[in-house]
Amino acid sequence: MATTDRIVWIDAARGVCVLAVVLMHTTLSAYLGHLAPGSSTGFWTWFIDAMTPFRIPGLAMLSGLLLARRIRAGWTDRSVRASVASSYWLYAVWLLAFALFAGLVGSYVWTGPIGTGDGVRWDAYLNQLVVPRTLLWYVFALAVWTALLTTLRRVDPALVLVVLAVVSVCSHYVPVLDDNDQYRNVLRYALFFAIGVYGSSWLRDRVGARHLPLIVGALAISLTTGLVILGGGGDPHVEAVLSVPRDAASAVLLLCVTAVVCQARPVGAALAWVGRRTLPVYVLHGILLEALSYIPHWSLVIDRTVVRSLAPLLVTIAIAVVSIALHELVMRTPARVVFELPRPLRRALLRERA
């Protein structure tokens, strides 16, 4: 398959994963809590639960796949330094935005871990520069994962994968602080990022070719492990262990299905368009969802019979469109530094001349 086709399915899959993340957060904060008692919420509750093995494992695997060349080249490739610095810069900037919103405007769900509307909590901000507890954890994780695997590039990939698989299982037993466990995700999903890095060529070739044995195998493992977990009666130890093969297979399955869907060019193009703009959607959607809680009579709007069944999907699309539009506007101004590493710093890291 041509390189351009492979890029389309990669970008499209990124779009699917990020939209799935936004859909989950939308359902939890802008939908379920605003419906009248007795309103049916079964489908969306089931759907966001069913997408758990696909969303972040798929996104992490794709991120690793895209950064594989830089990581395998090591620290001598200055672009990997820029990647790490860029991810951490974006995390620090948007964590500050969360802190300011939570402290000066107020918090509902997604900015809650860093403030409660009674002034900016600088202690919480500084603490979370090291221990992420908001939904921005993924941006933080990209910096950590990239730096880690770049440093370990000469270590046998099989050994790294085994260790990260053990870490993923153990992450389920890391203590939860103040009912917030986002930092555990950095440990849990590092494995899938590494699979993307070490299996980048293999994944590109087989997923891009819509390799039938890969699709069947991934589906079989995903279903089998998922059914065993369900049959375990909620045993957390069974889920901790089997979630690793389940999530890995589900992520691969997501990539394969997306590659097939991309054969319908309009659909693939639309998803890929979003996938090339995942950054603004990811970092902005939390604050935009918080802002919805301040809209007067939002519960009355969301609980109307006409919109109730499609509300999470409609709000997700609206959030994505607004995020991308804001990004396009900001990138035309000096404020673009909230979406990219400042150019002087980037030039210094790459040793480029102005």
Highest mean pLDDT among 28-37, 108-117, 175-184 belongs to: 175-184
pLDDT, tens digit, 9 for 90 and up, residues 227-248: 999 887 778 999 999 999 999 9
CB atoms within 10 A of CB 340: 14
Report residue 35's pLDDT band, with 50, 70 and 90 as the boundaries: low
Mean pLDDT calculated for residue range 65-71: 96
Q: Which amino acid is at 344?
A: P
Mean pLDDT of the chain: 90
Residue 6 predicted with pLDDT over 60: no
Percent above pLDDT 90 for the chain: 70
| Region label for 2, one of left (φ > 0), alpha (ψ between -120 and 50) or beta (otherwise) | beta
Closest CA to 113 of 141, 89, 134, 137: 134
Predicted pLDDT at 316: 95
Closest CA to 15 of 272, 318, 297: 272
pLDDT at 202: 94
pLDDT tens digits, 331-350: 999 999 999 999 988 888 88
What is the predicted pLDDT for the residue at 254? 97
Question: What pLDDT, in 10s, does the model give residues 110-120?
Answer: 887 777 767 78
Higher pLDDT, 202 or 304: 202
CB neighbours of 222 closer than 8 A, spacing ≥ 6? 53, 246, 249, 250, 253
Q: So what's the pLDDT on residue 3?
A: 43
CB 203 within 8 A of CB 255: yes
The answer to whether the CB of 76 falls within 8 A of the CB of 158 is no
Residue 36: predicted pLDDT: 59
Annotated domain spans of the chain: 3-350
Please, is 2 exposed, middle or buried when counting C-beta atoms within 10 Å of its C-beta (0-12, 13-18, 19+)? exposed
Average pLDDT for 258-266:
94
Give 299's pLDDT tier (boundaries 50, 70, 90). Answer: confident
Mean pLDDT of 44-73: 96
HSE toward the beta carbon, residue 309, CA cutoff 13 A? 2
Give the C-alpha separation, 26 to 295, whole Å.
15
Say yes or no to pLDDT of 1 above 60: no
